[in-house]
Copies of this chain bind each other. A is one copy, B any other.
Amino acid sequence: MNSSLDYANEFMPSIYAAPVFKTLLCARKELLSPRQKAEIKKYSKLIRIDQGVVVYEEGEEASYVWNIARGLIETYHLLPQGTRRITSFLFPGDLLGLMENGFYVSTARTVQPVIAFQIPIQVLSELALSDSQLSAALLTKLCQDLREAQRHIICISQKDAAPRLATFILWLCTIYGNDVEPPKELSLPLARHQIAEYLGLTTESVSRAFHLLESSKAIMRRTPRLISILDMEKLRSFSTLEVGAGILS
């Protein structure tokens, strides 16, 4: 699934946390000190994982945690009827490998080619035990992830498809945008079915929701994977959540 990287010096471990202030778009904050980065780098292996590869499966015994440097990962659960529910997307700066009692709680799969630091959990435990600042950083990151999950819950508790999709697009803007102004164009890293599996809808509904947002001139589909944001305010008005304030800050 992976290959060692010879251009290892290009990357450094980093863990980001979203900002607390309620500006619309802003970069996430680094949680690690240079010393901690060096420590993690020393004891971990920088690997590349191809697109579409299952990194680990639900219920598997956990042996690593990954710090994503580049790329995109989805975690999901397979439901009895064979449907998939995506529970989270992980971006550069995120930590992959949520476990419980030593077993991974969901399945993880690369959506884009990924470059990541592969950290043996043993190593991370020891580092955390000896470095209480690192331990605090991990706690902060987990709080962050928990809040992210709550945002997800509120997003999909909206009944209609358009508000869910609008909320999702606005969220992507906060991730891929810079901290000055909203992006005019947004390149979607996901296929329709992945958006649907994240939003608790079908691909058809997602498609219809795109149509609705487009016909209201909030966005425009350049290609299925590239959209233009025409009217941020209108897009925001679709979402029940006050994106850029409150929970989606």
Contact = CB atoms under 8 A, between A and B. Distances in A.
Contacts of A142: 139, 142-143, 146
A132 interface: yes
A149 interface: yes
A156 B153 contact: yes
Given A85-B157, A154-B77, A246-B77, A135 B128 contact: yes
Contacts of A106: 150
B139 A103 contact: no
Interface string A92-135: 00000011111101100000000000000000010011101001
A241 interface: yes
A5 interface: no
Interface in A132-180: 132, 135-136, 138-139, 142-147, 149-150, 152-154, 156-157, 159
Contacts of A157: 85, 156, 200
Contacts of A81: 240
B85 A147 contact: no
A57 B135 CA distance: 27
Contact of A153 (B129, B149, B246): B149
Contact of A154 (B17, B79, B138, B143): B79
Contacts of A136: 125, 128-129, 135
Nearest to A135: B135
A200 B143 CA distance: 23
Interface string A79-90: 111010101100
B154 A87 contact: yes
Contact of A132 (B80, B102, B129, B242): B129
Contacts of A130: 132
A20 interface: yes
Given A20-B102, A105-B143, A129-B132, 17 more contacts: A17-B101, A19-B101, A20-B101, A58-B246, A77-B247, A79-B154, A81-B240, A85-B154, A87-B154, A106-B150, A130-B132, A132-B135, A139-B142, A145-B146, A153-B153, A153-B156, A156-B200
19 contacts: A18-B100, A58-B246, A58-B247, A79-B240, A80-B242, A81-B240, A83-B240, A85-B153, A85-B154, A87-B153, A87-B154, A98-B147, A105-B147, A105-B150, A125-B136, A128-B136, A128-B139, A135-B135, A149-B153
